[in-house]
Amino acid sequence: MKIYVIGSLRNSEVPKLANELRAEGYIVFDDWFAAGCHFCEHSADESWKLYEQGRGRTYKEALQGEAVSHVFEFDKKHLMTSDVAVLLLPAGRAGHLELGILIGQGKPAFILATEDDRWDMMAKWATVCHTKEELFAELKRI
């Protein structure tokens, strides 16, 4: 089973969770995490913005560029070929969009919300887990 792990590019728990899932025998996509470089000065999105602005491009122009197309198609390929999605909070807007795409395809979706600091009724679209142990137990039921 292929799991698409979604989370903030600066969330250092993302690769830890991905490695724990791999240890359980799952195929995991989290390769985008490296782009976030959680110890770097800028986020991946901020670095891309500075790169494009340095070339005189607006956001609208940059969205048509080769760099964004390459990253988008890479992520899209893995998202669309995944069997399950796990959203590890915190996550950005794009992460919630990715989760929604898999939910729209009728695929199982999980939210790992280890801290209940944000209550959201729309989370009922997915299975909400409050611990990794709970998440792993749910995944084994699939």
Q: Name the residue ranges covered by the structural domains of the chain.
A: 2-140
Could you give the percent of the chain with pLDDT greater than 90? 54
Strands 84-88 and 27-29: unpaired
d(CA 128, CA 140): 15
Judge: domain 2-140, CATH 3.40.190.10: no
Local confidence band at 10 (pLDDT 50, 70, 90 cut-offs):
confident
pLDDT tens, 111-123?
998 776 666 777 7
Can you tell me which residue has the tokens 């988008």?
Answer: 72
The answer to whether 100 and 6 are in contact (CB under 8 A) is: no
pLDDT at position 43: 66
The strand ranges marked E within the chain are 2-7, 27-29, 84-88, 109-112, 127-129
Between β-strands 127-129 and 2-7, what pairing exists: parallel, antiparallel or unpaired?
Answer: unpaired
Which of 32-41, 77-86, 112-121, 126-135 has the weakest average pLDDT? 32-41
pLDDT of residue 82: 97
Indicate whether 99 pLDDT > 50. yes
For range 62-77, the mean pLDDT: 88
Q: How confident is the model over 42-65, as a mean pLDDT?
A: 86
As a whole number of angstroms, the distance between CA 10 and CA 27 comes to 22
End-to-end CA distance of the chain: 9
| Chain center to CA of 43 | 14
